[in-house]
Amino acid sequence: MAEIRSSSAPHVNRGFILRVSSIAALGGVLYGYDMGIIAAAEIFVKRSFALSTVVEELVVSIVLVGAMIGAIVGGAVADHIGRRATLVWAAGIFIVGSLLAPLAPSPAVLIVARAIIGLGIGFTSVTAPVYVSELAPPQSRGMLIGLYQFALTVGIALADLVGYLLASQQAWRLMFGLAVVPTVFFLMAILTVPESPRWLFAHAREKDAESVLRSYTDAHGAQQFLADIQEGLKTPVEQKWSALWSPAVRGSLFVAVGLTVLQQVTGINTIIYYGPRIFALAGSTSHSSAIFATLMVAIVNVIATVVGITLVDRVGRKPLLYIGVSGMTVALFSLSYAFKHDATLGPSMGMIAIACLMVYIACFAFSLGAIAWILVAEVFPLRVRGRGVAAATLGSGISNFVVSFTFLSLINAIGSAYTFAIYGTLCIVTLVFVRFAVPETCGRDLESISLGGT
C-alpha cells in the first residue's frame, strides 16, 4: 500500500485513510440527494396536493428543522457512543424517512417524513467531518474532510439527474424513494470501519485506540499519534454545552458558527432547493428544461468541489475563500442586474441567468462549500469537538431554514433583483469576516490548532 510521508509526520497507510474518508463521505451523498431532490419534486408535489406558497416552503424547509434537532442530539450522541456508532444510527434514520416520504398520503405525512430525513442529515453532518478529521494526518486532512463536501455535491447532482429523468412522468414519489439505495450502501460500508482512535482514547480505551492506529500506521507512528492525542486531552471531555462559551473555546465557536451561517445566508440553497423555479423566472419554457439547467449547475458544483479539495492543502484555506467569495459576489450582483432589466434582455435572459448561477456555484464550491466544514472540524479542541460541530451545524440549519422558508415570499414581496442583491451584499460581509476572524489552519495538526487558539 502507498504511504503518506513527510519529514515530521508518521507514515500513514493511504489506502486505509482514503477508504475511511470515502465511506464517511457516503453520508455526504445521502445529505446531498435528500436536500437536492426537492428541487425537482416540489413542482409536482405542489400540483398533487395543491399546496399554498407557505405550505410549499414548509415542505422544502422542514428538513432543516430536523437537521437542527439532529445537530443538537447528534453532537452529544457522537461524544457519548462514538463517531462510527452515530453514523450507523444516522443510516437507520435515513432509511425510515426515505421509505415514509414516497408513501405519504398527505402533505402532513410528507412534512413528517422530510423532518425525519433532516434528523439523519443533522446526525451525519455533525459526525462525518469530525470522524474523518480525527483519523486524517495533518498534511492531507483538508482534502480528506473535503471529500464529504464533494460527496454532497455528487448527491445533489444525482438528485437533479433523477429529477430530470423522472420529470416527464411527474414521479415525485419515486424520486424520494430512490434515496433508500445509497442509504443501504452507506450502512453496509460504515460497518466495516473502526471507531475514531481519538474518541477511544478520550474514553479510556487506550489499547483499542492503539490497535486502530496500528492498522494504518507503524508502531512509531501510533505512539506519535497517541502522544498528540494525550496532549489534546489534558483537559477532559466536556459534557456541558456551556463549555463552548468558555474563554478558551469562545473564539473557535465564533469562527465556526459565523462561517457556517454566512455559508447559508449568501444564498446557496436557494439554488439547490429552487433551481428550476429560478430558471422558470428567467424564462425557461418547461419544467424539464428548468430541471436540466439545474442539473448542469449541479455538475459544475461537483467539478469545482474537486478543484477546491485538491487545492485546499496546497494553496490554503483563506486564499481560496477570498477568491471564491469574491466571485460569488460578482455573480449575484450580475444576476440581480439581469433580473432588473429582464424586459430589455429578452430571450438572452435565460442564458445570462445560467451563466451567473454557474459562476456562483463554481466559486461557492471551491471556497465556502468545502472549506467552511473543514474549518469547523479543525478549530475545536477534542474535548468539545462533537458539541462544537453540532453548534456550527445548528447555526447553519437555522440560517438555511430562514433563507429557504423566505425565498419565495421574498421574491413575491420585493422581486428577484433585490432578493439576489441582498445575497450579494452578504457575500461582502463574508469577505470581511474571513479577513478578520478566520484563521489559517493549513498543515497544522488538530492539537496545535486547539491549543494555539484561533
Q: What is the DSSP letter of 366?
A: I
Residue 377 belongs to a domain: yes
CB 299 within 8 A of CB 433: no
Q: What is the DSSP letter of 170?
A: T
CB 118 within 8 A of CB 65: yes
* Distance of alpha carbon 94 from alpha carbon 325, whole angstroms: 32
* Distance of alpha carbon 423 from alpha carbon 428, whole angstroms: 9
| List of E strands, 123-257 | none
* Distance of alpha carbon 415 from alpha carbon 339, whole angstroms: 9
Residue 228 belongs to a domain: no
Residue 67 belongs to a domain: yes
Please count the other Cβ atoms lying within 10 Å of the Cβ belonging to residue 54: 11
Q: Residue 237 region, left (φ>0) first, then alpha (ψ -120 to 50), else beta?
A: beta
List, run by run, the mean pLDDT of 10-residue segments along the chain (454 residues).
47 70 78 86 88 86 86 83 90 93 94 94 82 71 70 88 90 93 86 84 82 76 73 64 84 93 92 81 73 86 88 89 97 92 70 88 92 84 78 85 88 92 97 93 64 46
* pLDDT at residue 238, rounded to an integer: 60
Q: Which residues contact 392 (CB under 8 A, 6 or more apart)?
A: 256, 257, 259, 260, 376
Residue 212 belongs to a domain: no
Helix, strand or coil, per DSSP, at residue 179: coil
Q: Which residue has the cell 429523468?
A: 165
Domain containing residue 384: 12-193+235-452
Residue 334 belongs to a domain: yes
Residue 215 belongs to a domain: no
Span 6-17, pLDDT tens digits: 445 556 677 776
CB 31 within 8 A of CB 350: no
* pLDDT at residue 126, rounded to an integer: 79
Residue 359 belongs to a domain: yes
Please count the other Cβ atoms lying within 10 Å of the Cβ belonging to residue 193: 20
Which alpha helices (H) appear in 341-415, and where do they start and end? 342-345, 349-364, 370-379, 385-414
- The total number of structural domains in the chain stands at 1
CATH number for the domain harbouring residue 313: 1.20.1250.20
